């Protein structure tokens, strides 16, 4: 394990000591991955959270592109922000906190209006993962979720491996197995600002998503079951478009989400190997982020519910729409939507997905 105080001279890299704590009978820590280009990713075993992500801009200056805090205590006091965390057992929403599997109805905690969100009141984001530093660029995290935890059936054993490469890619490999039929939808909830965390709005960021369709939602942000075309709507990001250009468009779906908070149906569906599904570029810093995944969907969230009440690593407030998320996933509420890709995992099967974030400059 690398001590973060020596991993980088950047003042924005948090101190390891501020993430060392006894919590839920385990010791938490901060792990730092670094490549030959100086790209540095700091990850805490609390929630498997990406705390800091330093990448070079067009002038070679290192920029921290992800929102977060400088200490574990700040995460504990602001847990519902989900900044940088691993999300499970089920990323996104399940309608009314209920689903039926093999004839049995399971009830989950309600923590988002009338629905269950991101695994419940104490999902994977609020658990201490067992961490193993494989080398200076690879971190393995494991968490065993007990049968019945947050209402989900089956003992689920989940392993997530973060691997940083010299091409400035961070690969996230997810695997999980269960001893009873259950549902699984894992993702990472990093909030990005390619101008630097705490630097203000992301309206100028140009976004491309390779999706001809998206899943419209009701007033509580649960999908209606429709796979609607993006053409002619504010959801058409098939060509690079500024995020802020249509974020307040007069469209019922924009009103439901207070902006963008929708699942996009990725062209090609679920794949065996990752393919590029999204690109974001900052005209200000020249930083470009490509997202590749094996998943069939991605949740594009435009930071609509950030309200300035939280101050991050830079000491600046995280204002409305000062970050975006691209959460690769299966679709929201899939357990209740027979027309969506299945999220059911059974004994003897292995859940396996991969997502890669690659940074460059333009």
Q: Which residues are catalytic?
A: 189, 327
SS3 336: helix
Cα(129)–Cα(140) distance, integer angstroms: 9
Could you tell me the maximum CA-CA distance found in the chain, to the nearest angstrom? 59
DSSP string, 46-89: BTTEEEEEEEE-TTS-EEE-B---SSHHHHHHTGGG-TT-EE-S
User: What pairs with residue 252 in β-bridges?
Assistant: none
Cα(108)–Cα(91) distance, integer angstroms: 13
Q: Would you put residue 86 in left (φ > 0), alpha (ψ -120 to 50) or beta? A: beta
Tell me which residue of 303, 347, 298 sits closest to 323, measured CA to CA. Answer: 303
Cα(316)–Cα(78) distance, integer angstroms: 16
């Amino acid at each position: 394990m690398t001590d973060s105080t020596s991993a980088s001279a950047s003042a924005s890299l948090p101190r390891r000591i501020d993430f060392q704590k006894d919590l839920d009978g385990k010791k938490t820590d901060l792990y730092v991955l670094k490549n030959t280009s100086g790209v540095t990713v700091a990850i805490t075993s609390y929630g498997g959270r990406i705390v800091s992500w330093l990448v070079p801009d067009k002038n070679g200056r290192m920029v921290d592109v992800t929102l977060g805090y400088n200490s574990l205590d700040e995460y504990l006091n602001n847990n519902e922000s989900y900044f940088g965390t691993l999300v499970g057992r089920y990323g996104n929403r399940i309608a009314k906190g209920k689903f039926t599997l093999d004839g049995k109805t399971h009830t989950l905690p309600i923590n988002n209006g009338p629905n269950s969100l991101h695994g419940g009141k104490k999902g994977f984001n609020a658990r201490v993962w067992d961490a193993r530093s494989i080398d200076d660029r690879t971190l393995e995290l494991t968490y065993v979720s007990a049968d019945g935890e947050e209402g989900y059936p089956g003992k689920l054993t989940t392993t997530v491996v973060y691997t940083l490469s010299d091409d400035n890619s961070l690969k996230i490999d997810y695997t999980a197995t269960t001893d009873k039929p259950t549902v699984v939808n894992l993702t990472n909830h990093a909030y990005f600002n390619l101008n630097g965390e705490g630097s203000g709005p992301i309206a100028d960021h140009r976004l491309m998503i390779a999706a001809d369709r998206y899943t419209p939602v009701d007033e509580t942000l649960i999908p209606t079951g429709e796979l609607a075309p993006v053409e002619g709507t504010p959801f058409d990001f098939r060509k690079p478009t500024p995020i802020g250009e249509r974020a307040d468009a007069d469209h019922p779906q924009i009103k439901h989400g207070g902006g963008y908070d929708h699942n996009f149906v990725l062209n090609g569906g679920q794949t065996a190997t990752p393919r590029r599904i999204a690109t974001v570029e900052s005209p200000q810093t020249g930083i470009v982020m490509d997202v590749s995944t094996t998943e069939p969907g991605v949740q594009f969230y435009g930071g609509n519910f950030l309200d300035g009440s939280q101050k991050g690593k830079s000491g600046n407030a995280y204002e409305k729409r000062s970050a975006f998320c691209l959460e690769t996933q299966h679709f929201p509420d899939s357990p209740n939507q027979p027309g969506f890709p299945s999220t059911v995992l059974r004994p003897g099967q292995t859940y396996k997905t991969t997502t890669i974030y690659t940074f460059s400059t333009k």
